[in-house]
Amino acid sequence: MTETRPKYTVTKGVHTRRALTSDELSNVLAQASRLGTTPYTVILLAARTGLRVSEISNLKQSAVVVAGHIVETITIDAETAKGGQGRNIPLDQLMREQLRECNRKWLVGGLGENANDRFFSNRTGSGPLNERNMQRWYKACAEKAGITGTTFHSLRHTFANQLRRVTDLPTLQYLLGHKHLSSTQVYTHPDSEDASKAIARAFS
């Protein structure tokens, strides 16, 4: 059954930023898989960790791969994190497997680890993957999937919206790397279904 698209929006400037439904995310990922391993991995990583596009671009190889193995928890240090809010983000099995595949294809290509210690590199391995490329990948995938009113940053909202259903705001604040709880609240999108569940739990 197809999900109904949420009516909420979060607007900043001229961009409408909202969370994707699970169906929309699946469709975006299906389109991304056609672009290649790296685009798919980047978009999946944003949706399953809430990392900002700048944090993905600057994600260190040493933060993802240790002794030839994909780590269970990615460490975003203060230097990489926006606002200097470092954090440790656990990776689920699917994400680890995808990162492993992405790393394998990079090494098989004969380029090895790039000189800047970035997990996602440009085609020559001489520097980090450009943020604009990631944003273009998302835009192309969303358009092909028939999804409007979203940007790459919507993947971060999608992560937050899914997590806030199963955890508390302080934990979500930590995972998003926010200094202030008020910033985290912008990423929460309660709807009528949440309200119904809250009433049912309170008076059951």
Give the residue with greater pLDDT, 50 vs 112. 50
Q: Is the dihedral of CA 188, 192, 197, 200 positive or negative?
A: positive
Active site residue 17: no
Which is catalytic among the residues 156, 157, 164, 189? Answer: 156
Which domains does the chain possess?
Answer: 10-202 (1.10.443.10)
CB atoms within 10 A of CB 168: 9
Active site residue 139: no
pLDDT at 130: 92
pTM (predicted TM-score): 0.82
Active site residue 118: no
Q: Which amino acid is at 1?
A: M
Which is catalytic among the residues 18, 52, 60, 189? Answer: 52
Which is catalytic among the residues 82, 96, 100, 144? Answer: 82
Which is catalytic among the residues 17, 18, 87, 153? Answer: 153
Burial class from Cβ neighbours inside 10 Å (0-12, 13-18, 19+) for residue 18 reads: buried
Active site residue 187: yes
Any bridge partners for residue 69, and if so which?
66
pLDDT at 47: 97
Active site residue 69: no
pLDDT at 11: 42
Give the residue with greater pLDDT, 158 vs 203. 158
Active site residue 138: no
Which is catalytic among the residues 40, 118, 164, 187? Answer: 187
Per residue in 130-175, pLDDT (tens digit) is: 999 999 999 999 999 999 999 999 999 999 988 888 888 889 888 9
